Amino acid sequence: MCIRFLRFFNTEYKEFGRANIRRSIPSMVDGFTIVRRKILCTAFKYITETSLNMEDFGGHVSTLTVYHYGNTSLELTIQRMSHGNNTNLLKVIGEIDIESRYLEIELHRITQYIFHKDDELLLNYLNEDGIGIVPAWFILIIPMVLVNGADGVAIGCRTFIPNYNTRDIITNIKRLLEEGKLKKYDTPEQLLEDFYNLRLHYYKERKNKGFKSLPSIKRDPREETHQKEEDEDVAVKGYDGIEP
């Protein structure tokens, strides 16, 4: 019995775990899971210039990419790719809460700029059930794992990467290509000064919003000078008095 358990964990269970991780954890290269790559591959083939009924599109995904997990899961993934992201790659036409046969799906206009056609020659397609239609990962002009973030749970692991402002990502990529670094700091003092100014700005903004919610009170000018000194001290040391 012990040998059977060891054989099971070293063969079937190990393969299941690997497949579960590949299916549930997004790749750092393109920020997608296998299912999302299958959806995008089908979208590039059928809806680059026109829209398509959601049910028909799901059928194309199943046929073209050997998708085995059911239409409900597929439609949910499509809806997640079409709204609620910093950059939506798909666009669903119609009310989200109605049946899928009444919905149309099309490729978002910006998607074709993120996936450059010249990079298709560099893709390494995986062989699944004798069909090589889905790449191991896409090569994108910006890191989508930072644009839309990544979240996934699999056997023995979990990942969460928050999303970031798309314009900031593009700006930093250009700076990295041109200057070799993400942000220009010649000395550590410049970094501390920038951090201090940012922290002081947000502290004052929070304080002003708090004062606006209170009744207006006429203050002594001497108190304002003293308060300004306290603000600067808090910005440097933090609320708990510990320097950052």
- Catalytic: 102? yes
Point out which residues pair with 105 in neighbouring strands: 52, 92
Helix (H) or strand (E) holding 135: strand 131-135
Whether residue 38 is predicted with pLDDT greater than 50 in this model: the reply is yes
CA 244 – CA 241 distance, rounded (Å)? 9
Q: Rounded CA gap, 70 and 63, in Å?
A: 12
Task: Inform me whether the pLDDT recorded for 32 exceeds 90.
Answer: yes
Q: Please, which pLDDT band fits residue 206 given cuts at 50, 70 and 90?
A: confident
Give the predicted TM-score (pTM) of the model.
0.69
Burial of 1 (0-12, 13-18, 19+ CB in 10 A): exposed
- 32, 236, 38: which is closest to 131 by C-alpha? 38
CA gap 29, 123 in Å, rounded: 12
CA dist., res. 233 & res. 24, Å (int)? 47
144 — pLDDT class (breaks 50, 70, 90): very high
Instruction: Using DSSP, state whether 118 is helix, strand or coil.
Output: helix
Range in 159-173, 177-191, 218-232 the model is least confident about = 218-232
Cβ contact 125:134 at 8 Å: yes
- Catalytic residue, candidates 69, 102, 185, 202: 102
| Domain chopping of the chain, boundaries | 2-169, 185-237
Residue 154 corresponds to which tokens in the numbers above? 């699999």
Query: Could you say which architecture CATH assigns to the domain 2-169?
Result: Alpha-Beta Complex (3.90)
**163 — phi, psi (to 5°)?**
-90, 160
Angle between helices 54-65 and 34-46 (to 10 degrees): 110
